[in-house]
Amino acid sequence: MISLDSTPVSTVVLCSRCPGFADLADSRAEGWRIGAAHEERAHPETDQARDTLSKIRARA
Ligand SMILES: [Zn+2]
């Protein structure tokens, strides 16, 4: 499960199934892009982050 931890200056991408995974993004959209890439690589059986990313893109 991908989650984003946003602060005023940065967004940290976390994966609840990979305690060692953390990545920095410039924005929430970028965070979801990174999370979706991680999910596709590490958890191809789930699509939570990719689904969220596609909804963000549909709004943009
Ligand atoms: Zn993971």
pLDDT at position 12:
98
Answer yes or no: are the C-beta atoms of 39 and 50 closer than 8 Å: yes
Q: How far is CA 2 from CA 51, 56, in A?
A: 11, 15
pLDDT at position 38:
98
Cα–ligand 1 centroid distance for 39 (angstroms): 6
Both tokens of 56, joined, read 């963000």
Cα–ligand 1 centroid distance for 57 (angstroms): 22
pLDDT at position 9:
86
Alpha carbon of residue 27 to chain centroid: 11
Give the integer Cα–Cα distance in Å for 35 and 11. Answer: 11
pLDDT at position 58:
93
pLDDT at position 59:
84
Cα–ligand 1 centroid distance for 19 (angstroms): 8
Cα–ligand 1 centroid distance for 56 (angstroms): 21
Both tokens of 30, joined, read 């970028």
User: Could you tell me the mean pLDDT of each successive run of 10 residues in the chain, 60 residues long?
Assistant: 93 97 95 98 98 91
